[in-house]
Chain A
Amino acid sequence: MRSVPIVHLTQIDYVVMAVYFVVVLGVGWLLRHVMRTSTDFFLSGRSLPPWVTGLAFISANLGAQEVIGMGASGAKYGIATSHFYWVGAIPAMVFVGLFMMPFYYGSRARSVPEYLKLRFDEKTRTLNAVSFAVMTIFSSGISMYAMGKLFNLLLGWSFDVSVLVSAAIVLAYVLLGGLTSAIYNEVLQFFLIVFGFAPLVWLGMRAVGGWDGLVARLGEVATARGLPADAYTHAWQTMGNAAQNPVGVEWFGLVMGLGFVLSFGYWCTDFLVVQRAMAADSMTAARRTPLIAAVPKMLFPFLVILPGMIALVLGAAHGAGQGLIPAKLSAAGTPLVDSAGRVVLDYDLATPMMLVRLFPSGMLGVGLTALLASFMSGMAGNVTAFNTVWTYDIYQSHIRRGASDAHYLWMGRAATVGGIALSVGAAYVAGAFNNIMDLLQLVFAFVNAPLFATFALGMFWRRTTGHGAFVGLLAGTIGAAVHHGLTLPAGAPVGVKGGYLAVLHVYPSELAQTFWTAIVAWVTCVVVTILVSLATRPRPDEELRGLVYALTPRPSERELRWLERPWVLGAAVLVLTAALNFVFF
């Protein structure tokens, strides 16, 4: 680890951070008496208003890795990164709110795996619960590792101290206030990110001469890299051909792989986000949760992608196509160079470098606190999802049934401690064995890709059986692994990037391979689930009421004011998103 920090903080920055810590711990302290039952602890007593659950829904996903990663992608791919929002999130968020929330909330399931138990059977639930639990621990660990590394590089903080202190603070407020504490801190973090990054974008845009200045400067970078001049500033124009755009994907793979399979798989089935909607105080509030979340999500590209794009063209070195972004260093401390002889940039530093270069002390404290807050609330989000799935779907259904509610509340607290301890362990594993983490993330991608097929068939086709769902999920995961093993992104060596079975096809980029792997997994899961379902005995209709579309009464919207109706809200969000795509076409 490098010992010379990029910037030194002053007293005022530490004061800002300290104020934030006091408020975070204070919220947990004030909530401590409210956590009387397991429903309070795991589902906030289902009592939160939709704007709170909506902002938490979006913040649980807006971890610091997202802020840093989307800034990095902004520098790498330009405005096309907005596809991860306008294609890869909004449609799925509208869908889960309008069509799937009636089953999640209406079935009274306390978690996503529990819905699978109600709709299918115990084995499908357990498969989903165990893979989800392992995944949340590791993603929490990976994000802790990223935080420790970033703050070490940027500020010279000790890795151990940043990981352990943030883990201790998260532990304290989740133990005290359960899911409510986590959700309140997510709402807090949402506003911190907005207030920490809006002035960054404003200053950055001023520095490059507004949008026109940014277009002109990024045009030079694109031309220098052999791409059309508007490759970084138009989202769709160069999407016809994977070789013509910096993303390296063609539109069909993008829309089907990212926009349909991966996005619906995440937003519609991941308990981390769905749990926030389940904490809402009514069915309408639960349905409006993802729709309300979609409004800021639609606008986030301007907050998190633009800083990365600006970082690429700001400062003395902007002619060289490097901007503020430092080179990636090898273990020996020398800049890394790729096969074409170009310096490899450390894109993850794009957004942090913007903070450091444009903010004076004071405002810098606010920007870094926002980053710290999103790291911590990301961790808290994972931990609250983990303790619920562990307690309800693994402990209560396999280890100890029929105990008192007080016992499960105690178990939830114990699982919080255990989950955080395991995440800290995972953070150190991530530091010591980078390859293991790459491999694990690959396995998670295989497990996640087919999920939406199982849920969609389960909710909308009553003939789907438990055996069909279970075998289909496994087949989809295997399908993903086989496809990945038979293909390779251009220029990558055979190994963790694919091609370990044989190389039948070479994709123009890793993203293109990821998107197509997801498509293959999804199709495999659909076909196998249908075939096995047709060959096995379906459950009688009476058992499926409230769990399947055809056997569930539509929630009435008539008593609501028109602006509060989920359908109106969903349609408005889709129209605005389409308009944004059109403006940046």
Chain B
Amino acid sequence: MSGATGIDVRYPIGALFTVLGLILAGYGLATASDTARYEPSLSVNINLWWGLVMLAFGVVLLLLAWRSRAASADRPAEETPEGRLTEQREHVLGLEKD
């Protein structure tokens, strides 16, 4: 017996980048006046700008996952020809009892 994968991987990744993006951009905004802090990064407020990029990426992934939630329905192994063959083989070779 084989089963499905459960969740679309784009949800956790999208969530991670959305949260990290918000934290980073918020921190960048709060520290924007602190020029000494951003001297090592060539006076670029990398927290703010890159935080916004990460936020945008996270939101796009979440949207993609949400839009395709119906289309990407799980495909249990028994429903694909390859999956059925595996199951058969495991029984023929006596690799599994049940």
Contact = CB atoms under 8 A, between A and B. Distances in A.
Given A37-B1, A44-B5, A359 B46 contact: yes
A179 to B, nearest CB: 10
A358 B41 contact: yes
B5 A358 contact: no
Interface in A20-42: 20, 23, 26-27, 30-31, 33-34, 36-37, 39-40
A36 B4 CA distance: 10
Nearest to B96: A405
A357 interface: yes
Given A45-B4, A360-B37, 10 more contacts: A39-B86, A108-B89, A187-B9, A191-B13, A195-B53, A199-B50, A207-B42, A360-B38, A360-B40, A404-B96
Contacts of A30: 6-7, 12
Contacts of B72: 49
Contacts of B2: 37, 39-40, 45-47
Interface of A: 12, 15-16, 19-20, 23, 26-27, 30-31, 33-34, 36-37, 39-40, 44-49, 52, 105, 108, 110, 180, 184, 187-188, 191, 195, 199, 203, 206-207, 281-283, 357-363, 366, 396, 401-405, 408
Among A36, A105, A281, A282, chain B packs the most CB atoms within 10 A around the CB of: A281
B62 interface: no
B89 A19 contact: no
Contacts of A20: 16, 20
Interface string B1-42: 111111101001101110110011001100100000110111
B70 interface: no
Given A12-B23, A108-B86, A360-B46, A45 B38 contact: no
Nearest to A184: B9
A110 B97 CA distance: 17
Contacts, number: 148
B75 A36 contact: no
11 contacts: A12-B27, A16-B20, A19-B16, A20-B16, A30-B6, A30-B12, A45-B3, A45-B76, A47-B4, A110-B86, A195-B53
Interface string B49-63: 011011001000000
Contacts of B80: 46, 281-282
A202 to B, nearest CB: 9
B81 to A, nearest CB: 8
A23 B28 contact: no
A404 B24 CA distance: 50
Contact of A23 (B3, B16, B85): B16
A403 B97 contact: yes
Contact of A404 (B6, B13, B98): B98
Contact of A16 (B7, B23, B41): B23
B26 to A, nearest CB: 10
Contacts of B82: 46, 105, 108, 282-283
A180 B97 CA distance: 24
Nearest to B54: A195
Among A19, A33, A360, A396, chain B packs the most CB atoms within 10 A around the CB of: A360
B19 A19 contact: yes
Interface of A is mostly: helix
A248 to B, nearest CB: 35
Interface of B: 1-7, 9, 12-13, 15-17, 19-20, 23-24, 27-28, 31, 37-38, 40-42, 44, 46-47, 50-51, 53-54, 57, 72, 74-77, 80, 82-83, 85-86, 89, 94-98
Given A108-B89, A404-B98, A180 B6 contact: yes
A12 B23 CA distance: 8
A63 B17 CA distance: 20
Contacts of B20: 16, 19-20, 366
Nearest to B21: A195
Contacts of B40: 357-360
Contacts of B76: 45, 47
B28 A362 contact: yes
Contacts of A282: 80, 82
Given A12-B23, A19-B19, A187 B13 contact: yes
Contacts of B96: 402, 404-405, 408
A404 B98 CA distance: 6
Given A23-B15, A360-B41, A34 B3 contact: yes
A26 B81 CA distance: 32
Given A12-B27, A363-B41, A404-B97, A52 B6 contact: no
B8 to A, nearest CB: 9
Contact of B12 (A34, A184, A207, A363): A184
Given A34-B6, A404-B98, A363 B24 contact: yes
Contact of A405 (B27, B37, B75, B98): B98
A401 B93 CA distance: 11
Contacts of B1: 36-37, 39, 405
A362 B46 CA distance: 9
A324 to B, nearest CB: 12
Contacts of A199: 46, 50
A360 B50 CA distance: 12
B12 A46 contact: no
A363 B50 contact: yes
A46 B46 contact: no
